[in-house]
Amino acid sequence: MREQDPVPPLAEVLAATRVVAIPTRTRFRGITVREAAILDAPQGASEFSPFPEYGDAEASAWLAAALDFGWAEQPPVLRERIEVNATVPAVPAAEVPAILSRFPGCRTAKVKVAERGQSLADDVARVRAVREALGPEARVRVDANGGWTVTEAATALRALAEFELDYAEQPCATVAELAEVRRQTRGQVAGDSGSAPTVRIAADESVRKAADPLAVARAGAADLLIVKAQPLGGVRRALSIVAEAGLPVVVSSALDTSAGIAMGLRLASALPEGLLAGACGLGTVALLDGDVTADPLLPREGSIAVRRPALDGAALDRFAAPPERKRWWRERIARCHALLAAPARRPHQR
């Protein structure tokens, strides 16, 4: 939440909280069950779902987002529907058509690469399968989640150049490495000696996990930013970061339920004209084997309407987390709430 916004009382937040554990349809970055705290808040459903390994300081930004979306008025909607991309986990190439079938009408796909235990040949085969399935006019992106070194990134992007990538997301872990990859790939990946970058570089973790989310823009380390509402502290704070960064953005999710996707849609819908850089990564409810609403936010004809679905009590009961996990999440909320309640310690305040 913003510095001037009051934090709702912990008792009120906990009273609004239900904890769910929803299986994924396909293993996604090692995840087979997605846990989330769902808030039945005054403004509508909201979500707090930082991954379990994140510490309280980082997770408190996610709680700030959940409270802001659940208790505060949001910026006005500037667009009614948001185009979304298909998200292809690091599956064997033969499984790609089945994955894409869950994203009807999507003409952009983001493909996970650099998965631990896999090879560049696996990545090439997966991206080739996506390109063949979607055709030459579709946009294909890759996301390495910081899994390559600079040398590995340059090698991989040369190997993938034949597929005419839209961009490479977070090829390396650090801002300095991103800047070096961007320098190396300017006119080199496909043998072009021109000054324009052959493969655009997008920054994700270097924005959402950074103490200074603007450092990547100042360093000239990316052509565009991937922004996620939860890790950045909410829709309003994400909009302020985008305005300061001055780079085009794609809004994405972190394998959220529809409650969290609604937050991302609201962010995408509120971006000023000219800043939205194509299809957003907000179709990932399609990767979950369940949801918290009877009317999930799934892609239809390649896009999703900007709306906030009602929570479904039966779904919340069906996917209720075990008692020990419910207790773990509620204790986590209490710790993060304590950080937010002390203004000087709120995450990423400027």
| Residues labelled as active-site residues | 112, 228
Q: Which helix or strand (DSSP H or E) is residue 25 part of?
A: strand 17-28
Please tell me whether 204 is known to bind a ligand.
yes
> What is the secondary structure of 221-258 as a DSSP string?
--SEEEE-TTTTTSHHHHHHHHHHH-S-EEEB-SS--H
Query: Token digits for 211?
Result: 């103490």
All residues at 6 or more sequence positions from 77 whose CB lies less than 8 Å from its CB, including other chains: 266, 269, 270, 306
Query: CA-to-CA distance for 127 and 111, rounded, in angstroms?
Result: 7
The SS3 call for residue 47 is strand
Tell whether residue 212 is among the known ligand binding residues. no
CA distance 281 to 275: 15
Tell me if 100 sits within 8 A of 109, measured CB to CB: yes
Angstrom CA distances, 255 to 51, 93, 217, stand at 10, 22, 25
Q: For tokens 């655009």, what's the residue?
A: 200
> Is 143 marked as binding a ligand?
yes
As annotated, the binding site for Mg(2+) includes 143, 169, 204
As annotated, the binding site includes 143, 169, 204
